[in-house]
Every structure is written in C-alpha cells, then in structure tokens.
Homo-oligomer: A and B are copies of this chain.
Amino acid sequence: MDTTEFRRRGKEMVDLIADYLENIEQRTVYPDVEPGYLRSLIPEEAPEEPDTYEDVVKDIERVIMPGVTHWHSPYFYAYFPTANSFPAMLADMLSGAIGCIGFSWAASPACTELETVMMDWLGKMLKLPEDFIAGTHGQGGGVIQGTASEATLVALLAARCRAVRMILASDPQRPETGITSKLVAYSSDQAHCSVERAGMIAGVRMKKIPTEQSDKYAVQGETLRRMIQEDKAAGLIPFYVRTEHTHPLLRNAEKIWMHIDAAYAGSSFICPEFRPLLNGIEFADSFNFNAHKWLLVNFDCSTMWVKKRSDLIGAFEMDPLYLKHDHQESGRYFCTDNSLFRSLKMWFVFRIYGLKGLQDYIRKHVELAKEFESLVRADQRFEISADVVLGLVCFRLKGSNEVNETLLKRINNGRKIHLVPCLLSGQFVLRFALCARTTESRHIREAWQLITQLAEEVMQELPH
C-alpha cells in the first residue's frame, strides 16, 4: 500500500470509525459468542499472496464486531470508563505516523519534552503541590505509564531501592537479600488485584490493611499505625504504603514511601469541588491516576508524578553506550520504558476541550450518577451499598446474594446493558459505572427501567 492508496483508505477508515461511533447504540453492547468463535471464521494460516483491502474491511463486520464488547456504547456500565475522544484519536494517528521510540531525550527530543510539559500542565490542573512539577528547575515531575498497575510497580521498586540504600548507608555489611526479605509493603484490602501482583513481582511482602464498611472502606490511620508497629517489633522493615487516600500517620518522620493511586477518581480533581479528595497529597512521594479512564485521553496514558525524579532514575538507570548522547547530563529527563509519542494525545485533548470543557465532562458524568442513585433510592426494593461520590453507583436488591447474582446474570444475558459485580463486606453488589462519553439521561432511565423489570421477574421466581 503506497501513500496514494493510504490517502484513500485512510479517509474511508475515518468514515468507518465515525459511522461506528455514531451508530454504536444500535449494537448489542455485550457480545453473544462462545469462546473460540473467531478461530473458525478465518483461515488457519496467513495468506501467501496479499488479500485485497476490500476483503479485510468486509471482515471487520463479519469477524470482529460480533465479538466486541462495546465499551463506548452508552449502554456500557461495566468495569470503569476508558477514554475515547476525537482529538485523542487524531493525535494518535499523528503519533503512529511519526512513530518515534522515546527511550531517551536524543531518540526524539520533542517526545520527551512534550511529555514533561504536558505532565506539568496536568499537574497544575490538579493543583498538585509545586514539588511534583518539573518546571525548569524542579526536582519532581511527571511521566506517562501504561497502566496504574505499572505505576504501582514502578513506585514499589523505587521505594524498595530507596529503602535498601538507606539501610546499607547505615549498615554497609548487611547482605541485600537479607534486607529485601524483611521489607513489608501495605495496601488497602479494597485495592485492585494488580497491587498484590506488584508485591509478588518485586518479591516483597504485601500486607492488606483491613477496612470496614462503617469507615466507607477507607484505610484508617490507627489500623495502619498498629500494623506498622507490630511489624517493626517483629523485626520487619515497613517501607511502602499504597492507598487511594493520603494518611496523616505518614506525615510524620516515618521513612515510608507513600504512593497514592487515584486511578479512576484522579480525573475529577480538575474540578475545585472534588479537589478536596486529594488533600494531604503534599505528604505523598508519588501520585498516579489514569488520564485514559475519565479525562478523554485514549488508552494508554496513566499519569504518574514523583517528588524526586532521582528516585525513579536511580532505581532503573542503566547507561549503555548506544543510549548515550551529548545532552546526557543537561537533559535530565526520565523515561522508564520505550514508548510512542503519548503526550500528543494530552496536548490535543487539553487544547481542544480546554480546562472548562474537561470539567463540564466530569460534572456531567457525576450528575448522571446522582440521577441513577436517586432512581435507586426511590425504589424500596433496592439499596445503595456505598456513598456515590463520583460516577459509580454500587447498589443491590435488598435480600440475598443469590437474588442479586441472578438479577445480574439476567441483565447481562439480556445484552441490552452491561454491568459487572463486586463484593463489599461479603455482599454481592451491582456496579453501575458511568462510562461512555455519549451517555445521556435517557440512557440512564432506560437502563433503570430494564433493571427494575428484570428485578421484578427475579423476585417473583426466587423465594425470599
């Protein structure tokens, strides 16, 4: 395919994409296929001779679409939002064409520099403390990661490195493996499974901090303090805490790395009314959230800030000759991995929406969640299972887990809307997450009508 054909095919693809997103409501949000469905639809081997482009495009509807879970349908309320906006898609097209790999400043200066500046822009939108802003002379700054899981792991490894160095500084003879085996990290029992996995990867103990429904599942400083004291008394070395909120406990002289992960909620902090949720951030060492969830910047764009860039650089630095360049010392940027030009997406989105446009978008989702909440509260058969703070409503039928499991199964088998569950204090709960950019009030009301209708059926069938 040459440039001339690309001009034609690219424009056709733009229309195909626009058509897909314009008419996405009419598709079945949750696909009705069995595992293995796709293999039988295509050849067992790649073709020797080229297929025609027309055949490939035809196969999008024949092979791919029947198996797609449409995350951007306004009937998708499962998992969490993942961003999808036109400015981000345009930037991604450009990024693909430039196709540079940004593993060092010299490998493409614009790539590294725009990332640093865009992370400053975003940090300022969030009103992060000055310590986290790179600016011209700052020691802190931001870097884009692929996922919040990656950021959790990166922070954990940097913390491990710092802890080991601090101990070796005072006790140079101590063997490093002896230190690592004593290290202990902490994380809320409500945390994503990837946090546990990060501990496993880094080969350090990861303890879960128990939380209670009565505390809205937030980690309590007292609980954490007690765990840390007990562990210290047992000869262990507490070195890392990862939570969704800051902790007064750690404002003191404890030399424990505090990583705040606001994967979903983080985007909302650009609105003054939600910014208090981030209070205390000045005591954290690192902060992360996924701009690719709720800030209209397509995946992947997990934004992470640290107060000391040197903590990250120090933990990962390798300096082979083939990556050296003249500006090695002056341009003290840090890129932890190979990556494309991801900051272009931020730049396009921030400029084309403007801060106000982004705030409007966040607020609209929160309002829709409130609307759904009031529909649930108005129905005596249902209960709200956790405070509705942003765009997620956790709710259930009053009654057994079984009846709720049956209801959810019925909802997803209907394939008109899509939800997933969670467990809160042993209770099976339905999660209604505001996800699509194009969700409107009418979709919410339609979804609720469907849920209540199915609930009625389920309650009539099952004994109470």
Residues of chain A touching chain B, judged by Cβ–Cβ distance below 8 Å, are: 1-3, 5-7, 9-11, 13-18, 20-22, 31, 33-39, 42, 44-51, 53, 55-56, 60, 63-72, 79, 82-90, 92-94, 96-101, 105-111, 113-114, 116-117, 120-122, 124-125, 136, 146-147, 149-150, 157, 160, 177-178, 180-181, 192-194, 196-197, 201-204, 298-300, 316, 318-323, 327, 330-331, 333, 337-338, 340, 344, 347-348, 350-357, 420-423, 431
Residues of B within 8 A of A89 (CB): 6, 10, 93, 96-97
Contact B105 A35 (CB under 8 A): yes
* With known contacts A7-B18, A68-B100, A423–B353 Cβ distance under 8 A: no
Bound complex: CA A72 to CA B96 (Å): 11
A227 to chain B, nearest CB (A): 20
Contact B193 A318 (CB under 8 A): yes
Residues of B within 8 A of A22 (CB): 3
18 A-B interface contacts by CB (under 8 A):
A3-B22, A6-B90, A35-B330, A50-B353, A51-B351, A56-B348, A68-B108, A68-B110, A69-B108, A70-B100, A71-B99, A72-B99, A89-B97, A93-B93, A99-B299, A150-B337, A201-B201, A322-B421
Contact A67 B16 (CB under 8 A): no
A335 to chain B, nearest CB (A): 12
Beyond the given pairs A47-B354, A68-B108, 15 more chain A to chain B contacts, judged by CB atoms under 8 angstroms and listed by A's residue number, are: A7-B14, A9-B86, A38-B113, A48-B355, A50-B352, A50-B356, A53-B352, A64-B110, A69-B108, A71-B99, A71-B101, A157-B201, A201-B201, A299-B340, A321-B422
User: Contact check: which of B50, B87, B347 meets A357 at CB < 8 Å?
Assistant: B50
* With known contacts A3-B22, A79-B101, A202-B201, A113–B67 Cβ distance under 8 A: yes
Residues of B within 8 A of A197 (CB): 316, 318
Copies of this protein in the assembly total: 2
Residues of B within 8 A of A321 (CB): 421-423
Residues of B within 8 A of A13 (CB): 14, 90, 93-94
Q: What is the interface of chain A mostly: helix, strand, loop, or mixed?
A: helix
Residues of B within 8 A of A1 (CB): 85-87, 352
| Residue among A97, A299, A344 with most chain B CB within 10 A | A97
Bound complex: CA A356 to CA B177 (Å): 52
Residues of B within 8 A of A65 (CB): 110
Contact A97 B124 (CB under 8 A): no
Residues of B within 8 A of A331 (CB): 35-36
